[in-house]
Amino acid sequence: MTSDPSGAELDLVVERDSAGLRLDQFLTLRIPGQSRASLAVALKAEAILVDGQTKKSAYRLRGGERITGVLLAPPPSQLAAEKIPLTILYEDDALLVIAKPPGLVVHPGSGNITGTLASGLLYHCATLAQVGDAARPGLVHRLDKDTSGVLAVAKHEHAHRLLVAQFQRRRVRKEYLALAHGHFITKTGRIDAPIARHPVNRQKMTVLPSGRQAITNWRVEEEFAGLTLVRLHIETGRTHQIRVHLASIGHAVAGDQVYGRHGQAGASRFPRQMLHAERLTLTHPISGQEMLFVAPLWPDFQAVLDDLQ
């Protein structure tokens, strides 16, 4: 396929092992050089059909469907490049890894059009505008606004497609550090509880039997007065997963204004939710080498620990 695949006709059969993927994710993996932005245009214009029917980008494939249609050109990006300081942990022609500071929104959303990491990435590397979603250039995963730590970015479409596949197939390892309220009964544990959008407050997530599978493994690192530093390895990447899971077992992340208990003692000590993505292990999309990236604790998090000690 050419570097500009718009106008190309589609006739694909979904393999059984692709069951569960979003429609736009499947198409991104199967069509080299195609971004989610252009796919979203085609799906919204009903130019791509699944078994002869229109489907949204988020449609979950069952396997065995036939996808037909035509690709359309993506709309021009409305995202503006902005000079935002980046803490770069690693960079080459295909991959950029940064340490995201707390307080920085990753990509534009409701109420956050400018001043996002996405704009800073475009300033650092203008060609990212052609990689992935136009509003999320090069991004293959995200962190909450007030979560600090390691974040990976693909610098061209081929790398983006391969990295997205790694995340979707759970072939990356993500480790976090969190300061949680209370003391845990055991030193290690595993939370396997499905997460879904809260039925009343649509800005929140919650544990619901009807939700999507979510798995969090935890290990106690250090105990303080009424608080515990825990290391967490997440096998899935649901929205707010760690915050929801820890709150569900009575150990909300310290400083969490959404999932923490109202009026928790000492809440004013915490400048934000005490959650940090410390380690990310992935396979380099071009060399195939396994790589580990580590982001040291952000100074505000370290200051809280120093005070507790």
3-state secondary structure of 87: coil
Angle between helices 157-168 and 23-30 (to 10 degrees): 130
State how far the Cα of 90 lies from the Cα of 280, in Å rounded to an integer. 12
Q: Give the DSSP per-residue string, 116-168.
A: -HHHHHHHH-GGGGGSS-TTSTTBSS---TT-EEEEEEESSHHHHHHHHHHHH
State how far the Cα of 229 lies from the Cα of 223, in Å rounded to an integer. 6
List, in sequence order, the alpha helices (H) in 192-252.
241-248
24: annotated active-site residue = no
Catalytic residue among 144, 146, 192, 306: 144
State how far the Cα of 295 lies from the Cα of 63, in Å rounded to an integer. 38
Q: Are 24 and 39 in contact (CB under 8 A)?
A: yes
State how far the Cα of 6 lies from the Cα of 27, in Å rounded to an integer. 14
Q: Is 229 left (phi over 0), alpha (psi -120 to 50) or beta?
A: beta
CA 190-197-34 angle, to 5 degrees, is 95
State how far the Cα of 148 lies from the Cα of 253, in Å rounded to an integer. 14
Q: For residue 74, give the DSSP letter.
A: P
**Phi, psi (rounded to 5 degrees) for 279:** -130, 140
Please list the active-site residues: 144
